[in-house]
Amino acid sequence: MNILIAGFQHETNTFAPTKASYTSFVQGGGFPPMVRGADVLALRNVNVPIGGFIEAAEATGHDLTPVIWAGASASAHVTTDAFERICGEIVAAVSEGGFDAIYLDLHGAMVTEQIDDGEGEILERVRRIVGDRIPVVVSLDLHANVTQRMIRHASALVAYRTYPHVDMAETGERAAQILERLVSEQRPLHCAFRRVPFLIPVNGMCTLVAPANDMYRLVSALEDESVVSVSFAPGFPAADFAECGPTIWASSFSKEAAERAADALYAKLVDEESRWDVPFLTPDEAALEAISLSRAASKPVIIADTQDNPGVGGDSNTMGMVRALLRHGASDAAVGVIWDADAAAAAHRAGVGARIRIALGGRSGVQGDAPLEAVFEVEHLSDGRFRFDGPMLNGMKGELGPVACLRIEGVRIAVSSVKMQVFDRNLFRVAGIEPERMKILVNKSSVHFRADFEAIAEAILVAKAPGPMAADPADLPWKHLDADMRVRPMGQPFRSMGPVTA
């Protein structure tokens, strides 16, 4: 076959402070930078879905027509300009024809300034051109908010099974295998789709622990000769539209087999609803517990500053956890990574060893957050270039722009000029901080950091410091959520929380 391939990834937090512009996709942030044409094929060695698809398709002897791959760090809405330019390139290539199948590497939780369901819009535009004759197979993030429109216009959808997302390339490979089945069978798959009636906190989705690891074991077990693919997407609980939330779907050439598999997975999830709830610590509770645990620990105690995670739409510059560490006299503590280009520039002007008075971070606009005005010692400076050595983007190069390590009392702070989630230890090392030598690490991340940090952690705590991404979806000011959706596990349906705004 000749297969047209393209990718367009964004996870949209409609409550976040900063939108994703076209430049955001050019730079990539925590993703590879935008690439076009033959340069897309260089992603074959990167742990992203299109990388796994390329390797699998090339190994089977297929020809590939690469169009574009673009991803940007989670944020508020994708601008209309960015969406139309990138989607427009994909649709234009589809219009030219000359291919036998299409593979799209999408996220599943994109909301634009004008469109609630970005992926559904992309798929509908593509399907309008190719009709029913061309198979369109799509890989999705585990955090996809899957819609009826996506189900209707894709020949098959397949989602990640790990969070941290160490199986992104593997998911692309599974998409290639599903495409092979579709072509060999020459008949459509039946998709049995179920919408789960409660939102799940992001921190509860980690597949390294229960209940998520139990759920994904069943996902794998339900696949057999008759059931081609089973997926569970816990969703991204920060997109304010009616179809936000967890979903389950199973695909088979037999309608009965697909329905049975979807029913089994749905029953397990709903029966175990209470297991998906998550306890959180206040900043002071997290700081005190970390200090206490670290006294006898041989490894760092890690605090997830989850509500300012740039991977879910935060801007990675809230000061709540820094202030809590300082209030309680923490020592040998490190915080990363604070996105503050002005502070990094001031440190580079002053030089290593200088003491500078600045107002650091605190630009979220969230109640309870403010810049930290203080004198900091400049301990380390770098150009911010590094390589990912952890499991998620292993081997990929990263750029944080000018970086500084600023020290205040017993706390070191890694400050960057580019926003990026801490899912690799090298984001500390590029600031001159050896994470293994710290007693306490505060990571601007929710779960992804576990892929590289869990091996060095004495304990992992989750703090609910002021930030733009509410760790508990019940805390968000929803307006457009489905009226019957419960805003957290065992919580109240949205209809009971006030009038639903159309």
Report the distance separating Cα 380 and Cα 366, nearest Å: 30
* Chain segment 315-372, per-residue pLDDT in tens: 999 999 999 999 999 999 999 999 999 999 999 999 999 999 999 999 988 899 999 9
Q: Which fold has domain 1-187?
A: Rossmann fold (3.40.50)
Cβ neighbors of 413 (< 8 A, separation 6 or more) are: 322, 334, 335, 336, 338, 360, 376, 405, 406, 407
* Chain segment 377-402, per-residue pLDDT in tens: 999 999 999 999 999 888 889 999 99
What residue spans in the chain does CATH classification 3.40.50.2300 cover?
1-187
**Pairing of the two strands 2-9 and 63-71:** parallel
Cβ neighbors of 64 (< 8 A, separation 6 or more) are: 2, 3, 4, 5, 41, 54, 57, 58
**Pairing of the two strands 227-233 and 101-106:** unpaired
Q: What are phi and psi of 323, to 5 degrees?
A: -65, -40
Tokens of 249: 């779907």
Which helix (H) or strand (E) segment holds residue 439: the answer is: none
DSSP letter, residue 237: T
One pLDDT digit (tens) per residue for the chain, 502 residues: 999 999 999 999 999 888 999 999 999 987 899 999 999 999 998 999 999 999 999 999 999 999 999 999 999 999 999 999 999 999 999 999 999 999 999 999 999 999 999 999 999 999 999 999 999 999 999 999 999 999 999 999 999 999 999 999 999 999 999 999 999 999 999 999 999 999 999 999 999 999 999 999 999 999 999 999 999 999 999 999 999 999 999 999 999 999 999 999 999 999 999 999 988 999 999 999 999 999 999 999 999 999 999 988 899 999 999 999 999 999 999 999 999 999 999 999 999 999 999 999 999 888 999 999 999 999 999 999 999 999 988 888 999 999 999 999 999 999 999 999 999 999 999 999 999 999 999 999 999 999 999 999 999 999 999 998 889 999 999 999 999 999 999 999 998 875 433 3
Question: What is the pTM assigned to this prediction?
Answer: 0.89
Half-sphere exposure of 206 (CA within 13 A, CB side): 19
**Given strand 101-106, what is the order of strands in its sheet?**
35-36, 63-71, 2-9, 101-106, 136-140, 156-159
* Chain segment 127-154, per-residue pLDDT in tens: 999 999 999 999 999 999 999 999 999 9
Which helix (H) or strand (E) segment holds residue 180: the answer is: helix 168-185
Contact (Cβ atoms closer than 8 angstroms) between residue 106 and residue 119? yes
Determine how many CB atoms are found less than 10 A away from the CB of residue 414: 27
